[in-house]
Amino acid sequence: MPPQPRLMSLRCKSQSTATRPRRNAFTLVELLVVIAIIGILVGLLLPAVQAAREAARRMSCSNNMKQMILAVHNYESATKRLPPAWTRPAMTGDGWSTQARILPYVENVALASAIDFSAGYGAARITVDGESIKVSSFRVPVYLCPSDVNDFERNDDDGNPYHYPLSYGYNAGPWFVFNPNTNETGPGSFVAGRVSRFRDVLDGLSNTLGFGEVKARTPYYRDVEIEGTIPTPLEPTEICGLGGSFKTDTGHTEWVDGRVHQSGFTTTFSPNRKVICEVSGREFDVDFTNIREGKDTTALTQAAVTSRSYHQGGVNVTMMDGSVRFITDSINLELWRNLSTRAGGETVTVPE
């Protein structure tokens, strides 16, 4: 009789073990299904996230341009004239840009104070964090589009920081920029070597381009020095035949330099139009300047410096009245050129 209670205890223990719930786990197939679902969701969401980021960058870009054109208005209010595109320095050196002139009005007073506009930009320096650096190598955030992939300094031959790029150029007109024989200037909003005013914008401030997007480190031909008037090119293929000294990646890399291939644009071709030339077996999307301003006493500065952007479908521009617009690549070329003349007398309707 005494062993019976023990057998009952063992039976109870066995029954308790048998009824204990089993622990469940994911099978390999289930895990793969979950991973696949997550991958599909990421694939669906990623374009939306990228689109939202690009929209934010484009808005930031337009805000930069808004600050620039308002700075022009403040400059004009203070000086009663518009900032020149380029001026020949009284002393040795290269002429300063429109962007350099408006520095005090884009919250860069200290940088502007380091500039002597009667001298060239090559020797101008500023002290930053106890270190003396070239003014030309200083990064001015408001002059750079967040989408520009070439937001980094350009070094000199010794590897020292020398220049910093920009993403916004002044409107220099359709093609002709400057005649050193007569000091005649082009029909753009900002002109070389001469004082101009808002009253000179006879086509109306709301119908005339101020600034437009450009791409930093643009390849370009320069200084072929063809004498006389070159007919305005009708097709990009004509640019390759004009020739000149070819630079692979230094266009729009000098925000201090007032020459059109560095801080301006022209409307020879519509926004983002490809100007493809083959050089040493490689294809480049190029700009062209017959002669840089101040580099010759007879040849005319005529230039095809296209407005380009990393934003899909067009470029941000400012009008001289202070507004900012997005111009699509499909804009009619004649209209685009008419918008770049300050006193052409054209009747234009600015695209919304």
Q: Residue 287's closest CA among 215, 230, 337? A: 215
Between β-strands 161-163 and 154-155, what pairing exists: parallel, antiparallel or unpaired? antiparallel
Q: 326 with 314: CB under 8 angstroms?
A: yes
Strand locations in 189-307, DSSP E?
209-213, 218-222, 245-251, 264-265, 276-279, 282-285, 287-289, 301-304
Q: 174 with 209: CB under 8 angstroms?
A: no
pLDDT of residue 22: 61
Six-digit token string for 61: 């870009």
> Taking the CB of residue 46, how many other CB atoms lie within 10 A of it?
10
Structural domain count of the chain: 1
Six-digit token string for 236: 């990009």
Integer Cα distance of 159 and 177 in angstroms: 33
Averaged over successive runs of 10 residues, the pLDDT of the chain (352 residues) comes to 49 50 70 85 74 83 98 97 89 87 95 91 88 94 96 92 96 97 95 91 96 98 96 96 96 97 98 96 97 94 98 96 96 97 83 68
pTM of the model: 0.85
Contacts for 158-164 with beta carbons within 8 Å, 24 or more apart? Answer: 161/133, 161/134, 161/137, 162/134, 162/136, 162/137, 163/136, 163/137, 163/253, 163/254, 163/255, 163/256, 164/136, 164/137, 164/138, 164/139, 164/140, 164/253, 164/254, 164/255
Q: Is residue 28 part of a domain?
A: no
pLDDT of residue 73: 98
pLDDT of residue 194: 84
Q: What share of the chain is helix, strand, coil (3-state, %, to 5)?
A: 30, 20, 50
- What range does the domain containing 225 cover? 53-339
Torsion of Cα atoms, 111 then 113 then 116 then 122, to 10°: -20
Q: Is residue 16 part of a domain?
A: no
Q: Under 8 Å CB-to-CB from 219, ≥6 apart: which residues?
A: 246, 247, 248, 249, 251, 279, 284, 285, 286, 287
pLDDT of residue 19: 55
Q: Is residue 241 part of a domain?
A: yes
Integer Cα distance of 123 and 113 in angstroms: 14
Q: Is residue 27 part of a domain?
A: no
CB neighbour class for 215 (10 Å; exposed up to 12, middle 13-18, buried from 19): buried
Diameter of the chain measured on Cα atoms: 132
Q: Is residue 285 part of a domain?
A: yes
Q: Is residue 323 part of a domain?
A: yes
Q: Is residue 225 part of a domain?
A: yes
Amino acid at residue number 108 = N
Q: Is residue 19 part of a domain?
A: no
Q: Under 8 Å CB-to-CB from 138, ≥6 apart: which residues?
A: 111, 126, 128, 164
Integer Cα distance of 274 and 287 in angstroms: 10
Adjacent-strand bridge partners of 128:
131
pLDDT of residue 129: 86
